[in-house]
Amino acid sequence: TMLVAFSFSGIAELWADFMRASGAAERVFELLDRRPAIGAGGEQLTDLRGHVRFRGVHFAYPTRPDVPVLQGLDLELRPGEVVAVVGPSGAGKSTLASLLSRFYDPRAGEVLLDGHPLTALEPEWLRRNIGMVAQEPQLFSCSIADNIRYGRPDATDAQVEEAARAANAHAYIERFPDGYNTQVGERGVQLSGGQKQRVAIARAVLKDPRLLILDEATSALDAESEHLVKDALERLMKGRTTLIIAHRLSTVANADRVLVLDGGAVIQSGTHASLMSQEGLYRRLVERQFVAA
Ligand code: ATP
């Protein structure tokens, strides 16, 4: 990288010389000053409470600008609240997670964190405060310890182990001959879906974020793994604002609140029990889709 940085700065100097010579330096600096839509810079909040609000959010993916995904969506996650989002496939559940992490910005409306528009916050700081457990967590081709440490690069071995214990991963890791040094990924040991999820949970435990996004696995884990994952997640969610993209009845039944997403907006909101007592999409979804879970 030294070499690359060196040659880039070399080119930049040549370019600047050239532009100066041609009398256009000011225009170049104007261009350099322009930030990409989601660039560095912005505020960091102290004492983050974890209050999230989507207000009148409209969104379409840049590659498909004519296909509206969210159309005036409003939602609120109170600090520490566990909210499950359900809805038909393609309703925009994962899109909510992408907007909250600021991989994209709304086309209209805004997403607020503790009352501050996400666009005013430093993206890196924001992502440091969001933990993510994906359906199919991607592990890097390195040791299990380093995969967990990705959540907090300066963590000690003892902290990595403590996180693994909280994630119900310590016991299986210790059963490998190389323990925490076991290589995983392409050329290493293949972990099961449930084992990978527990590595991702351990990462999130180490990271200790105010906000959590859980994308629940659609495919069933074996019964033991299922229980260990669920138990670890419950511990992880405690006291954190959590958005779960839910696929299981037991998850929605335990959430503080359920939001039903359809047609780019939240069409129902309430506890599982209250939503089950009404006619509507939620009850149909539960009867149809969750019946096997
Ligand atoms: P599922 O339950 O099937 O995962 P979902 O509710 O999470 O669906 P999203 O993944 O948020 O739905 O997708 C919402 C809409 O946006 C869909 O029509 C989808 O095809 C589209 N979409 C998702 N990601 C992209 C992308 N990167 N580029 C373009 N369109 C996308």
Q: What is the mean pLDDT of residues 217-224?
A: 77
Q: Is the dihedral of CA 233, 236, 240, 243 positive or negative?
A: negative
The residue contributing the CA closest to ligand 1 atom 17 is 90
Residues paired with residue 287 on neighbouring β-strands, in sequence order:
none
Per-residue pLDDT, 224: 82
Q: Is residue 135 pLDDT above 90, yes or no?
A: no
Contact 245, 214 (CB under 8 A): yes
Q: Is the ipTM of this complex over 0.95?
A: yes
Return the minimum-mean-pLDDT range out of 46-55, 189-198, 215-224, 272-281: 215-224
- Contact between 166 and 221 under an 8 Å Cβ cutoff? The reply is no
Q: How far is the CA of 15 from the centre of ligand 1 (A)?
A: 42
150-173 pLDDT, tens digit each: 989 999 999 999 999 999 999 999
DSSP assignment letter at 47: S
What distance in Å separates the CA atoms of residue 257 and residue 84, rounded to the nearest whole number? 6
- Hey, what are 276's tokens? 């089950």
pTM to 2 decimal places: 0.83
Residue 267's closest CA among 246, 245, 283?
283
| Position with higher pLDDT, 38 vs 92 | 92
Query: Which residue's C-alpha comes closest to atom 25 of ligand 1?
Result: 61
Dihedral sign for Cα atoms in the order 96, 100, 102, 107: positive
pLDDT band at residue 13 using 50, 70 and 90 as cut-offs: very low
State the pLDDT confidence band at 97, using cuts at 50, 70 and 90.
very high
Neighbouring C-alpha atoms within 13 Å toward the C-beta of 180: 17
Minimum mean pLDDT among 5-14, 236-245, 262-271: which range?
5-14
Q: What single-letter DSSP state applies at residue 185?
A: S
Q: Which two tokens stand for residue 56?
A: 């009148």
Higher pLDDT residue, 17 or 226? 226
pLDDT-derived band at 266, boundaries 50, 70, 90? very high
pLDDT attached to residue 9 = 39
- Which of 69, 75, 219, 289 has the most ligand 1 atoms within 8 A of CB, as the residue to mutate? 69
Query: Cα of 57 to ligand 1 centre, how many Å?
Result: 16
What is the spatial distance between Cα 57 and Cα 71, in angstroms, rounded to a whole number?
6
C-alpha distance across the termini of the chain, in Å: 49
Take residue 219 and report the two structure tokens written for it: 């495919």
DSSP state at residue 235 = H
If one counts every other C-beta atom within 10 angstroms of the C-beta of residue 293, the result is 14
Can you list the pairs that 94-97 forms with residues at least 24 positions away whose Cβ atoms lie under 8 Å? 94/215, 94/245, 95/59, 95/69, 95/70, 96/54, 96/70, 96/243, 96/245, 96/261, 97/132, 97/213, 97/215, 97/243, 97/245
What was the pLDDT predicted at 114? 97
CB of residue 93 inside a 6 A radius of ligand 1 = yes
DSSP state of 181: G
Which residues are registered as beta bridge partners of 108?
58
Q: Most confidently modeled of 23-37, 168-182, 237-251? A: 168-182
Distance CA 151, CA 208 (A): 8
Spacing, Cα 14 to ligand 1 middle (Å): 44
Q: Name the DSSP letter for residue 143.
A: B
Ligand 1 atom closest to Cα of residue 95? 11
Half-sphere exposure of 269 (CA within 13 A, CB side): 10
